[in-house]
């Protein structure tokens, strides 16, 4: 219906799906990618091609950037020869959809207003989440922020890419990226915990297919767990999301933690495991291959045990160990993420609602974070209970010399909470570990 001109820069796994979806919505899309086969594939899918970002934007009403890093956006936007800036029409709406650091979109705004004197270009911070399938279906989660008019003018494209999953984030340009950043704490921890947990299940001798089916129906579940484990069980060679991507995203999180001098134990432990994965040369593989860091001598064990001649029932005590480790890690990560969100000034209630239905969600997140935000602690399981359960899991792993990087870190956080006198409180009290000199972030209501 629209026929409006869109320039789309970055036709990788996600970008290709997003751009093609815009074509299907009737936009007239000119694509650009540094990798020629991506461009050819896009033309075959009904798009037009261009040789530079500068050429791509010539008649664009909207420009979407969906490249890998903030540095690539700067290059595509401002390169002295090929940059979009030299051809971008007046009042064009630019959507920054890549995940960068929170200061990225404001930086681009400053460059447009200052050095390039293009105050007319309308900029929207619009990081996305959801994977390739939802990218192609136009049902991505998009976290849009920026000046009201710019966001309103971007709506036709945002609506086509996100459908009902479009969130408008208050707080100005960059606020959407802050939400994405907090979301990525959970995405990173959950992706890593998926490997930690499934490797643990395999090392414990469980039937991993059956273990997966039970775990995903329990409070150990996370969206990433549901999504990634089938890749392991089927030994699927497809790269749905390369390990390098989540490694980059978690790097943004910990860099922000350093900038804010804010403790991020779970994100930091996750970053080190991911770095170990990149060092083990699996950066370009699907992130479900992180299992190779946990089982370096038997990387196929999760696959092999998927058809093991053992039955793993829902009440198998060994399965319980895995579930306990997962639930505790997810709870600690949920607390850490919400505390970071509060620290960077986000509306924590909206943050909670967005993450609860996005790829960073988990059973624990959905159940516990509303209690954190409201201060109404209702869960009866106590910090001490979590310590007992998690200790059981860690003792079993210790006997096998199986590394539980994340569960080990989580246990110390629960220990710290107990040591500070919160042992007999609801496990939601784990959020109190992040209490600063100014007192609790979320005061308790009884």
Is 180 labeled as catalytic in the residue annotation? yes
Query: Which listed residue (114, 119, 296, 440) binds a second copy by CB under 8 A?
Result: 296
State how far the Cα of 320 lies from the Cα of 10, in Å rounded to an integer: 44
Distance from C-alpha of 385 to C-alpha of 397, rounded to nearest angstrom: 19
Check binding of 295 to a second copy (CB under 8 A). Answer: yes
Burial of 14 (0-12, 13-18, 19+ CB in 10 A): buried
Q: Tell whether residue 72 is a contact of a second copy (CB under 8 A).
A: no
Under the binding rule (CB under 8 A), the answer on residue 10 touching a second copy is no
Only one of the segments 130-138, 249-257, 313-321, 322-330 lies at the binding site for a second copy (rule: CB under 8 A); that segment is 249-257
Distances (CA, A) of 333 to 4, 92, 187, 190: 42, 39, 10, 9
408 binds a second copy (CB under 8 A): yes
Least distance between a second copy and beta carbon 411 (Å): 7
* Number of residues forming the site for a second copy (CB under 8 A): 57
The DSSP output letter for 431 is G
Q: At what angle do helices 208-215 and 175-203 cross, to 10 degrees?
A: 140
Cβ 249 to a second copy shortest distance, Å: 12
Closest CA relative to residue 134, chosen from 98, 160, 157, 156: 160
Nearer to a second copy, 155 or 444 (CB): 444
Classify burial at 321, counting beta carbons within 10 Å of its beta carbon; exposed 0-12, middle 13-18, buried 19 or more. Answer: buried
Region near a second copy per CB under 8 A, out of 67-75, 139-147, 293-301, 352-360: 293-301
Residues 367-406 contacting a second copy, CB under 8 A: 384, 387, 391, 394-395, 397-398, 401-405
Number of H helices, E strands in the chain: 19, 9
In order of 197, 204, 209, 322, 409, the CA distances from 397 in angstroms are 11, 8, 20, 10, 14
Residue 376 forms beta bridges with which residues?
Answer: 445
- Which part of the chain contacts a second copy (CB under 8 A), choosing from 23-31, 101-109, 309-317, 418-426? 418-426
Asked whether the beta carbons of 254 and 278 are under 8 A apart, the reply is no
Q: Is 424 helix (H, G, I), strand (E, B) or coil?
A: coil
Whichever of 90 and 401 has its CB closer to a second copy, that residue is 401
Task: Tokens for 158, please give them.
Answer: 């945002």
Least CB distance from residue 287 to a second copy, whole Å?
A: 14
Regarding beta strands 141-144 and 62-65, do their DSSP bridges make them parallel or antiparallel, or are they unpaired? Answer: unpaired
Site stretch for a second copy (CB under 8 A), options 47-55, 180-188, 276-284, 315-323: 276-284
Nearer to a second copy, 255 or 308 (CB): 255
Contact residue for a second copy among 3, 81, 261, 380 (CB under 8 A): 261
Cα 246 versus chain centre, distance:
7
List 275, 308, 314, 356, residue binding a second copy (CB under 8 A): 275
Closest distance between a second copy and the C-beta of residue 281, in Å? 6
290 binds a second copy (CB under 8 A): no
Interface residue with a second copy among 167, 200, 225, 265 (CB under 8 A) is 265
State the minimum distance, in angstroms, from the CB of residue 395 to a second copy: 7
Does residue 77 sit in helix, strand or coil? helix
**68 half-sphere exposure, CB direction, 13 A CA radius:** 13
Query: What are the φ/ψ torsions at residue 16 (nearest 5 degrees)?
Result: -60, -45
Kindly tell me which of 214 and 343 has the beta carbon lying closer to a second copy. 343
To the nearest whole angstrom, how small is the minimum distance from the Cβ of residue 430 to a second copy? 12
Do the Cβ atoms of 336 and 266 come closer than 8 Å?
Answer: yes
Catalytic residue among 61, 165, 178, 180: 180
List residues with catalytic annotation: 180
Site residues, a second copy (CB under 8 A):
247, 251, 254-255, 257-258, 261-265, 268-269, 271-276, 278-281, 283, 293-297, 384, 387, 391, 394-395, 397-398, 401-405, 408-409, 411-413, 415-416, 418-421, 423, 434-437
């Amino acid at each position: 219906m629209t026929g409006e001109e869109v320039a789309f820069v970055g036709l990788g796994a996600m970008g290709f799906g997003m751009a093609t979806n815009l074509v299907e919505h009737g936009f007239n899309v000119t694509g650009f990618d540094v990798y020629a086969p991506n461009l050819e594939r896009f033309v075959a899918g009904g798009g037009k091609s261009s040789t530079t970002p500068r050429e791509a934007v010539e008649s664009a009403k909207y420009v979407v950037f969906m490249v890998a890093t903030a540095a690539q956006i700067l290059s595509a936007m401002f390169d002295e020869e090929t940059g979009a800036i030299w051809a971008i029409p007046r009042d064009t709406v630019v959507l920054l959809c890549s995940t960068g650091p929170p200061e990225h979109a404001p930086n681009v705004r400053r460059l447009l207003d200052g050095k390039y004197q293009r105050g007319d270009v309308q900029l929207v911070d619009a990081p996305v989440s959801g994977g390739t399938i939802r990218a192609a279906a136009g049902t991505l989660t998009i976290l849009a922020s920026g000046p009201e008019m710019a966001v309103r003018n971007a709506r036709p494209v945002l609506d086509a890419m996100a459908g009902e999953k479009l969130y408008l984030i208050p707080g100005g340009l960059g606020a959407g990226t802050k939400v994405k950043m907090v979301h990525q704490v959970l995405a990173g921890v959950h992706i890593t915990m998926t490997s930690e947990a499934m490797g643990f299940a395999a090392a414990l001798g469980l039937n991993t297919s059956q273990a997966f089916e039970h775990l995903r129906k329990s409070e150990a579940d996370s969206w990433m767990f549901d999504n990634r484990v089938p890749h392991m069980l089927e030994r699927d060679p497809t790269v749905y999301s390369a390990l390098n991507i989540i490694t980059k995203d978690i790097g943004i999180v910990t860099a922000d933690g350093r900038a804010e001098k804010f403790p991020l134990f779970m994100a930091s432990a996750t970053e080190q495991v991911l770095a170990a994965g990149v060092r083990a040369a699996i950066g370009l593989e699907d992130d479900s291959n992180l299992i190779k860091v946990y089982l370096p001598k038997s990387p196929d064990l999760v696959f092999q045990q998927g058809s093991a001649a053992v039955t793993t029932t829902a009440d198998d005590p060994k399965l319980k160990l895995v579930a306990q480790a997962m639930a505790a890690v997810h709870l600690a990560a949920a607390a850490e993420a919400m505390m970071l969100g509060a620290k960077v000034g986000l509306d924590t209630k909206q943050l909670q609602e967005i993450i609860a239905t996005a790829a960073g969600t988990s059973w624990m997140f959905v159940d516990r974070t509303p209690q954190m935000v409201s201060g109404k602690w209702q869960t009866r399981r106590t910090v001490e209970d979590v310590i007992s359960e998690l200790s059981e899991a860690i003792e079993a792993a210790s006997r096998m010399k199986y590394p539980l990087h994340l569960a080990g870190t989580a246990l110390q956080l629960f220990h710290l909470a107990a040591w500070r006198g919160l042992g007999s409180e609801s496990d939601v009290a784990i959020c109190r570990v992040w209490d600063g000199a100014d007192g609790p972030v979320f005061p308790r209501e009884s």
